[in-house]
Chain A
Amino acid sequence: DSGVTQTPKHLITATGQRVTLRCSPRSGDLSVYWYQQSLDQGLQFLIQYYNGEERAKGNILERFSAQQFPDLHSELNLSSLELGDSALYFCASSIHRDLNSGANVLTFGAGSRLTVL
């Protein structure tokens, strides 16, 4: 158990629908990153939040949005779903208290597998 909790583990839905993926970071971690991993593909960075504020955006579609709440958990909202959105969605967290610390590396959750039919 990495300490990063993602729910749900599996989700099957239809095209055009909207889903919300949830992430609870490791205790004490302030930063949350979202990644998408399609079948046999690498990790595509979507978005990052730090202590409630958006800090960086990657290849995130306009149909997707995210937020980080005061308790530091984060939600990734995917709307108007398409078949191509089927993927594993990973959340990762990091401390970011000491920029010079080697401890500032990502810890990943187990992922949420989204299947769009």
Chain B
Amino acid sequence: QQQVKQSPQSLIVQKGGISIINCAYENTAFDYFPWYQQFPGKGPALLIAIRPDVSEKKEGRFTISFNKSAKQFSLHIMDSQPGDSATYFCAARYPTSGTYKYIFGTGTRLKVLA
């Protein structure tokens, strides 16, 4: 119940294409859903995040779509660029004992071909 299931494990997209990464969850106590981008040898960096009372959030070429009833959310990268090649992690946060716990998906390795 505390898991966040992420798919696909890896993704290859042509430059200019749309990259789509999906995540699903069970725990309705999750109250915030961030996406992190990680380049090789670096720490994950916050990319974009959404609250469950919002169905979509867009920041530049990155969009989160959120379906509360289906307990699913996805990251869309429009006009994908080679520089977007990285590993992407979805995450979910829930409050517990006056603090937060974060559950991460298993990651998606994205490769954008030039």
A residues with CB within 8 A of B: 2, 4, 31, 33, 41-43, 45, 48, 50, 55-56, 90, 92, 94, 96, 99, 102, 104-111, 113
Contact = CB atoms under 8 A, between A and B. Distances in A.
Contact of A96 (B36, B49, B100, B107): B100
A55 B99 contact: yes
A45 B102 CA distance: 8
A110 B51 CA distance: 27
A2 B91 CA distance: 19
B46 interface: yes
Contact of A110 (B42, B89, B103): B42
Contacts of B83: none
A48 B46 CA distance: 19
Interface of B: 32, 34, 36, 41-46, 49, 51, 89, 91, 93, 95-107
Contact of B46 (A45, A56, A107, A111): A107
Question: Lowest 6 CB-CB distances: which A-B pairs, in order?
Answer: A108-B43, A42-B106, A43-B104, A110-B43, A108-B44, A42-B107
Given A42-B104, A42-B106, A42-B107, A109 B43 contact: yes
A20 B101 CA distance: 24
A22 B20 CA distance: 36
